[in-house]
Amino acid sequence: MYNENEEDRLRAIIWREGALELLDQRLLPNEVCYRRLSTSAEVVRSISDMVVRGAPAIGITAAYGVVLAAESRYSETPDRWRELINEDIEMLAKSRPTAINLHWALQRMKQVIAMPTGNPVGRLLKEAITIHKEDIISNKCMGRLGAALLGQRSSVLTHCNAGALATGGYGTALGVIRAGHTSGLIEQVYVGETRPWLQGTKLTLWELVQYGIPVKLIVDAAAGALMRMNMIRWVIVGADRVAANGDVANKIGTYYLAVAARYHGIGFMVVAPTSTFDMHSNTGTNIPIEQRSKDELFTLGYQIVAGAGAWNPYFDVTPAELVSVLVTEQGAISAPNSEKIAILMNEKILISNLTDPVSKPVP
């Protein structure tokens, strides 16, 4: 079972006294400020405006958003709440396009809504808390599974933020790095800045410093040189959506890291819970990629440094053939493909039973 302890201290999402508190990630690392939300409309805005980031964190936040929606719908129109809450769920579903955990979490909440009940708030809150706790259990499980695959003590590169901030707690890619560090397998972590929102600089660096894990920042474009100079053995990243064939959508820049890693014979590890898998997308080409404003590329700090046309896709797709190993809470698979993923997804292990990692042999 899940027990909170010291390593769970850093939380991006807290349910406290009937409201949702989100750590405003736009202000990190300079300011640690939690925003208190009491309506689902505020939750939608917080997801769209990037207060909360990362696929699992977005899903968990949306689940709590449904609780807030149910509270107001049921108290205002107890006879029509089920019909009216669909509008709120639709707004939540549209808040960010790429992270599939959002839809996965809303689907779970819809199943609870469909149950015959009087006041639904208690049940929905219970489900949201379960989704939240399960995510932390999954992350710890993936951390141990991924760390066991690292082999000898070495340095690694990560991209964007896939830590406690991007999840319910502990982290996916950073979960592996944390578990690896505890086992003495991580010498040095390099993290790319992750232009244009700088999740690497502002979030991952901040997290790793707090955990006491040696970390060095690089500009995104330095990753090739890092590999060429033999300075890392693994690239370890999270995912926003994994297609049924193992193609991985993640923060823009992930694809070129995978290409460079393959060229240099470096391992490319993707760490994502099964809630990030989209079995309706056969391949990565079906995954919607968020496009953001060109202004993000022309502004440094608050200063506009240029202005013209720009192309600003926020995620890219790494083909499965470039993924050395895909780590989930259900097990790890090397060289992922449709067949291996179908087997993994069909052998669902109850997350509440995952006190110890159930390691599948890497074929």
Q: Applying CB under 6 A, which part among 85-93, 159-167, 335-343, 353-361 lies near ligand MRU?
A: 159-167
Q: Could you tell me whether strands 154-158 and 299-300 are parallel, antiparallel, or unpaired per DSSP bridges?
A: unpaired
Kindly state whether residue 317 participates in binding ligand MRU, applying the rule CB under 6 A.
Answer: no
Convert residues 78-97 into a mask of x (bound to ligand MRU by CB under 6 A) and - (unbound): --------------------
- Spatial contact of 317 and 284, defined as CB atoms under 8 Å apart: yes
Give catalytic status of residue 240 as yes or no. yes
Question: Which two structure tokens, joined as six digits, stand for 189?
Answer: 């972590």
- Spatial contact of 21 and 32, defined as CB atoms under 8 Å apart: no
Binding residue (CB under 6 A) for ligand MRU from 28, 160, 242, 341: 160
**Residue 290: is it exposed, middle or buried by C-beta count within 10 angstroms (0-12/13-18/19+)?**
middle
Binding residue (CB under 6 A) for ligand MRU from 60, 147, 166, 223: 166
Kindly state whether residue 329 participates in binding ligand MRU, applying the rule CB under 6 A.
Answer: no
Kindly state whether residue 145 participates in binding ligand MRU, applying the rule CB under 6 A.
Answer: no
Residues 175-194 that bind ligand MRU (CB under 6 A): none
Q: Could you tell me whether strands 234-237 and 267-271 are parallel, antiparallel, or unpaired per DSSP bridges?
A: parallel
**C-alpha angle 108/20/179, rounded to 5°?**
70
What number of chain residues touch ligand MRU (CB under 6 A)?
Answer: 16
CB of 202 to ligand MRU, least distance (A): 10
- Spatial contact of 28 and 210, defined as CB atoms under 8 Å apart: no
Kindly state whether residue 60 participates in binding ligand MRU, applying the rule CB under 6 A.
Answer: no
Catalytic residue among 135, 240, 247, 278: 240
Beta bridge partners, 313, equal 291
Instruction: Name the maximum alpha-carbon separation found in the chain.
Output: 66
Kindly state whether residue 251 participates in binding ligand MRU, applying the rule CB under 6 A.
Answer: yes
Kindly state whether residue 143 participates in binding ligand MRU, applying the rule CB under 6 A.
Answer: no
Minimal CB distance residue for ligand MRU: 238
List alpha helices for the chain, DSSP H: 40-48, 55-76, 81-93, 101-113, 121-147, 173-182, 199, 205-211, 223-228, 254-264, 295-298, 338-346
Binding residue (CB under 6 A) for ligand MRU from 162, 186, 317, 326: 162
DSSP string, 105-163: HHHHHHHHHTS--SS-HHHHHHHHHHHHHHHHHHHHHHHHHHHTT--SSEEEEE-S--B
Kindly state whether residue 13 participates in binding ligand MRU, applying the rule CB under 6 A.
Answer: no
Binding residue (CB under 6 A) for ligand MRU from 239, 257, 317, 326: 239
Binding residue (CB under 6 A) for ligand MRU from 71, 88, 134, 240: 240
CB of 334 to ligand MRU, least distance (A): 20
Kindly state whether residue 195 participates in binding ligand MRU, applying the rule CB under 6 A.
Answer: no
Question: Which two structure tokens, joined as six digits, stand for 262?
Answer: 């393959």
CB of 9 to ligand MRU, least distance (A): 18
Could you give the residue numbers annotated as active site?
A: 240
Residues that bind ligand MRU (CB under 6 A): 53-56, 160-162, 166-167, 172, 199, 238-240, 250-251
